[in-house]
Amino acid sequence: MLSRYLPIFIVLSIIAEILGTVGGFGSSVFFVPVANFFLDFQSVLGITALFHLASNTTKIAFFKKGLDKKIILQLGIPAIIFVMIGAFLSKYINPRFLTYILGAFLILLSLTFLIFKNLVIKPTKKNAILGGVLSGFSAGVLGTGGAIRGITLAAFKMNKEKFIATSAVIDLGVDFSRTIVYFFNGYMRKDLLYLVPILILVSIIGTWIGKKILIKISQENFRYIVLILILGIGITSILFN
């Protein structure tokens, strides 16, 4: 089915990469639902991990001037640990049930911050670690945890460049770790490896376009765009699960 609709798949993947770059939390939140229309869920997990390795490497190259090393350690280490746990458990947990939970959580969380504009998550070490645990486990089981990581990073009020670069470095560690587990789970289908160079090109094009769009967005509007995109992800997760 995928080979028949490959041009559509590529266009949708570029759009996912653009939105992921503008939102600052990676393309997987959009790419996973797109790929799920064409592939079985376990194959989606495998190809998403490979795609995201390329995607985050590209983002680091484009936004390398901004990095928060302290947040990378506080959020990144628990994310890497729990993504491996989630990836291992993905063979045994019904992903549809967890997708509903994730969707409801994202809708509630994003609406809360959109309605109560002065409400913020405190930028504490405890919240950074908790965000890493939840985003990592979600990425391992569902293939995407960027929205949770985005909500957590938003608490630290970084500028756009630092937000995206820091998120990309954390996500790179997460993707590398889950790729290993997915490989041993048998999610890496040989007949789909031809997509890897295509998705590398997609990540470069999408990130470049996303960066051009970001230049024209103010810091205040950037926060609202992140929240609105997360709300959309939550609604999509429930409606199209």
Q: Are 175 and 29 in contact (CB under 8 A)?
A: no
Q: Is residue 218 part of a domain?
A: yes
71 falls within a domain: yes
* Phi/psi of residue 27, nearest 5 degrees: -85, -15
Is residue 103 domain-resident?
A: yes
| Structural domain contains residue 1 | no
Q: Which domain holds residue 223?
A: 6-239
Number of structural domains in the chain = 1
**Is residue 68 in some structural domain?**
yes
pLDDT tens across 48-59, in order? 888 888 888 888
Please, which residues have CB within 8 angstroms of residue 211's CB and are 6 or more apart in sequence?
21, 62, 63
pLDDT at 201 over 90: yes
Rounded to 5°, the CA angle 52-129-133 comes to 55
Q: Is residue 205 part of a domain?
A: yes
At residue 129, the pLDDT reads: 93
The DSSP code for 175 is H
State yes or no: pLDDT of 128 exceeds 70: yes
Q: What is the pLDDT of residues 152-195, one digit of tens each?
A: 887 887 777 788 888 888 888 888 899 999 988 888 888 888 88
The model's pTM: 0.76
Among the residues of 116-186, which ranges form H helices? 125-142, 146-154, 160-185
